[in-house]
Amino acid sequence: MNYRYNGQTIVHGPDTGLTLENAYRYCRQIAKHHAKTFYLAANFLPKPQRNPIYAMYALLRTVDDLVDHAEDKLTNGTLTRAEISSMMDQWKNRLHDCYAGNHNGDPIMMAWQDTLKTCDIPIELPLDLMDGVAMDITFEPFRTFDELYVYCYKVASVVGLMCSEIFGYSDRKALDHAIELGIAMQLTNILRDVGEDVDRGRIYIPLEDLDRFGYSQEAFMRKEMNENFVKLIRFQIERARRYYESSEKGIPMLAKESRFAVRVSSLNYCNILKTIENNGYDVFSMRAYRSFYQKIRTIPYIWYRTQFAS
């Protein structure tokens, strides 16, 4: 059986079936297609770390796509909640099989199983991620930031924790800062995607913050821009920036060869907040976007900081 991704065929070896090299190549193609900033940062990692990072991303993307598919099917009535639960259980069983040493011919699981040989990544982390993205299926608004924090931890911070195990670190405090970077990035995602989420009938910003700035849920769903809304978004931006700032303390604790890639990813994500500001805080009709040139332009500055701040 051959695997196809983005129009390209990943073939098995002639005698031994799917090869590890092709499994990793399959994972890399998924990362390249779906995650431009992530893929750019991964290119600055030393070669031994790239394949595990691609495997991790492909694994997480598989979970995300599974949930997106289930969500769409649930919405149009072609899938029941019981069937969704069964799909989730099947995925978890595949993951447990992988950790037990059986990849069942799946290229992603084969690559992940190989990654686990050198990286101590507990199964609880990908399982937490699955629980987090599954929260989108039966979405309920977050009343408080504490509730949103749990969601951000599960869908983003666990990624930082897995990356830390792949990169290596000198101090376990690095894990606390990896959690912070995940929170910062997910808060950025939420701000970037406000318009799309409203079109789906969703508000991810905590309702207590809407109350704090006197901005109603009804106005949010109408995409109403006013002074109170601008104050609300400024508050969210500053919160995210505080997490980015604190997460910086963990980068010098990572293995030296991985620090540059982490800074590339962190700064380019943080710069999305600057784009939102430049767009006049209009997150309803303008999706904050950083061009490839804008991302590349940050590299000399990041290189300098990595050389003299780590």
Give yes or no for a contact between 290 and 272, defined as CB atoms under 8 angstroms apart: yes
Amino acid letter at 259? R
Contacts of 244 (CB under 8 A, 6+ apart): 180, 181, 184, 266, 270
For tokens 């608004």, the residue is: 141
With CA atoms as reference, report the closest residue to 130 among 94, 97, 105, 175: 94
- Per-residue pLDDT at 37 exceeds 60: yes
pLDDT at site 5? 45
Give yes or no for a contact between 46 and 128, defined as CB atoms under 8 angstroms apart: no
Q: What is the mean pLDDT of residues 258-287?
A: 93
pLDDT at site 299? 52
Q: Is 17 helix (H, G, I), strand (E, B) or coil?
A: strand
With CA atoms as reference, report the closest residue to 229 among 207, 212, 213: 213
**Cα separation of 257 and 261, whole Å?**
8
- Per-residue pLDDT at 12 exceeds 70: no
pLDDT at site 7? 45
Mean pLDDT of the chain: 87
Q: How many CA atoms lie within 13 A of 299 on its CB side?
A: 12
Amino acid letter at 299? I
How sure is the predictor about 17, in pLDDT bands with cuts at 50, 70 and 90? Answer: low
The pLDDT tens digits for 47-60 are 889 999 999 999 98
pLDDT at site 114? 96
The pLDDT tens digits for 203-252 are 999 999 999 999 999 999 999 999 999 999 999 999 999 999 999 999 99
Per the model's pLDDT, the better-predicted residue between 88 and 191 turns out to be: 191
pLDDT at site 153? 98
How sure is the predictor about 186, in pLDDT bands with cuts at 50, 70 and 90? Answer: very high
With CA atoms as reference, report the closest residue to 27 among 68, 74, 61, 77: 61
**Cα separation of 12 and 74, whole Å?**
35
Domains and CATH numbers, the chain: 1-124 (1.10.600.10), 139-310 (1.10.600.10)
Q: How many CA atoms lie within 13 A of 106 on its CB side?
A: 17
Per the model's pLDDT, the better-predicted residue between 293 and 249 turns out to be: 249
Give yes or no for a contact between 228 and 270, defined as CB atoms under 8 angstroms apart: no
Burial class from Cβ neighbours inside 10 Å (0-12, 13-18, 19+) for residue 11 reads exposed
How sure is the predictor about 306, in pLDDT bands with cuts at 50, 70 and 90? Answer: low
pLDDT at site 215? 98
- Per-residue pLDDT at 92 exceeds 80: yes
- Per-residue pLDDT at 304 exceeds 60: no
pLDDT at site 294? 60
pLDDT at site 296? 52
